[in-house]
Amino acid sequence: MKIAVLTTGLLLLLSAVAHAQTLTVLHNFTGGADGLAPTAGLTPGGTGTFYGTASGGGLNGCGTVFKLTQHNGGWTLLPIYTFKNDYDGCNPLSPVTIGPDDSLYGTTIGEYDGQGTLYKLQPSPTPPPSPLTPWQFTLLQTFTGLNGDQPLYGPVIFDQAGNLYGTTQFGGGYNDWGTVWEASPSGSGWSETVLAALTLPSNGPYSNVVFDTAGNLYGTTGTGTDIFELSPNGSSWTTTILHTFDGRDGSLAYGGLVRDQAGDLYGATSDGGPGSSGVAYELSQSSEGWTFQVINYFTSPGQGVFGELTLDAAGNLYGVRISGGTHDEGELFKLTPSNGSWTFTDLHDFTAAEGYFAYGAVVLDADGNIFGTSQAGGAYGKGTVWEFTP
């Protein structure tokens, strides 16, 4: 497969700073029943509703799944499940995904033997045993090492047939270099298939995979920093490396990919580039193969992006650097395409009171407001949920 790499010559980038915009903290985590350290981004659940996870805290110190609801001009956060570090798991780092049955699906990195779980949550049909655990938990899969070890930050995704797909950082056989897996409804339970036990000498995927219209999957690896494609080939899958970062064009692609309607892929790195502050990049496909291009070098001091970028209907990209900015607590930014180049806009520089270490992807509502989480900071130092209003 032909891969072209364009990292210079096309990057006349403009910079702008937005004004008269507001960031509001919607919830300050206390470290108690509500949880602490929300590492993942939010999942929209309809107008005025979001779902999310807190990686620690809760009644058992293992994290929570929560529902955030807007009411009478304010926002209320309610834990809907508290992990027990039993068969259910511990420390959810990934966001939840709303399935075709309106249930929530997600993963934890640990459970009693430390390798992670795949779970489903749905409202309890009977009165719950505790007002802090009103949703019913179903264990779909326990990771054992051979089928993967430690699903990290990426959301699980569904195909049109109702099968689930995800990744693990480790496991998958003798290499222990991570997996891409599929879980399918089977009778009264679920069965899992490892689609690829990665053979790259690095940590495996930290984040999600995405589909194209032909049924191929795309993702990134962590410290080895490769972009890969998985293509169905009869009863097996073929792995193709589309790009390997060399440091100058980015490094540490912890975040996954987002795909636009034309089939182009976008992502960001937390390191690399001229200032070692990360890059944003594009992979575009033509009849001759894939072309890699850096679309933005983050030049101000600090780390780059840990999560996925978010694409709006106009083709703009949004994300959060986990450090840097005026206060070195991170910055919310926008990338706008314009005549073959991209304009970088610093939308907001975070303060410790608003939250810092924003690892997850942001989400936009119909009015263009941006919502996200920060793992630390806020009134109690345990993390926040915030809204940015343009």
pLDDT of residue 16: 39
The answer to whether residues 306 and 39 touch, using CB atoms and an 8 Å cutoff, is no
In whole angstroms, give the CA distance from residue 37 to residue 20.
Answer: 29
In whole angstroms, give the CA distance from residue 161 to residue 379.
Answer: 44
> Does 18 have pLDDT greater than 60?
no
Least confident span in 51-60, 196-205, 209-218: 196-205
C-alpha triplet 259, 151, 377: angle, nearest 5°: 85
Q: How far is CA 267 from CA 11, 278, 283, in A?
A: 16, 11, 9
Report the mean per-residue pLDDT for the chain.
Answer: 90
pLDDT of residue 223: 75
**Segment 11-28 mean pLDDT:** 64
pLDDT of residue 367: 94
Write out pLDDT tens, residues 155-194.
Answer: 999 999 999 999 998 888 767 788 999 999 988 889 999 9
In whole angstroms, give the CA distance from residue 319 to residue 271.
Answer: 15
Domains of the chain: 3-389 (2.130.10.10)
Say how many C-beta atoms besides its own lie within 10 A of residue 231's C-beta: 14
User: DSSP letter at 155?
Assistant: P
The answer to whether residues 127 and 135 touch, using CB atoms and an 8 Å cutoff, is no
pLDDT tier, 112 (very low <50, low <70, confident <90, very high otherwise): low
Write out pLDDT tens, residues 273-298.
Answer: 999 999 999 999 988 899 999 999 99
The Cβ-side half-sphere exposure at 299, using a 13 Å CA radius, reads: 9
- Which residue reads 């940590």 in tokens? 203
Write out pLDDT tens, residues 241-279.
Answer: 999 999 999 999 999 999 999 999 999 999 999 999 999
**Segment 40-52 mean pLDDT:** 96
pLDDT of residue 62: 95
CA proximity to 257, closest of 375, 376, 385, 361: 361
Residue 176 tokens, joined: 């222990």
pLDDT tier, 13 (very low <50, low <70, confident <90, very high otherwise): very low
pLDDT of residue 133: 64
